[in-house]
Amino acid sequence: MHTHTHTHTHTHTHTHTHTHTRADLIEDGDLVDVSTLAREAGFKVPVAVTRAVWADCVAWSQDDTKRKRVPQDEEGRLWDVLFMARNFAARNAQGNRVPFALHRVPREGKGHQARIVTLHMHIGGDNGEPVITIMQPTED
């Protein structure tokens, strides 16, 4: 009697890395393209901010103005982000990720004083093209 044992081991490791391109992220709303105002602020390449940066440092409504008693608007807040990023980048242009500080009135809470926040400016896109993304320090 002949017994044949056949062990068949298949180990398939499928790693589906679905990488989102910058264009996908802008289309999905994870990045906000701010290139038009960025050009006015002196940037020569496309600029986007992450949704988290927009929510924390740019977003502002009439309700925020009433609640905080601080008259601001989104364009002015975005200008502050872009101006500080541009100003800092001009002085510290080494590396592809540059931290910079910004004073902004937080939307959350009761305070109406500007608070300092650190943001990061990342230089370079999916394929090394010259684009800038402004993000929170914890984002990449």
Answer whether residue 3 is part of any domain: no
Q: Provide the pLDDT for residue 17.
A: 52
59 in Cβ contact with 52 (< 8 Å): no
Answer whether residue 65 is part of any domain: yes
Total count of domains within the chain: 1
pTM exceeds 0.75 for this model: yes
Instruction: For the chain, give the longest Cα–Cα distance.
Output: 92
Find the Cα–Cα–Cα–Cα dihedral 63, 136, 94, 45, rounded to 10°.
-50
Q: Terminal CA-to-CA distance of the chain, rounded, Å?
A: 64
Kindly list the averaged pLDDT for each block of 10 residues, start to end, along the chain of length 140.
45 55 90 96 95 96 90 95 89 79 90 92 86 94
Q: Give the range of the structural domain holding residue 60, as residue numbers without chain letter.
A: 22-135
Q: Provide the pLDDT for residue 33.
A: 97
Q: Provide the pLDDT for residue 97.
A: 87
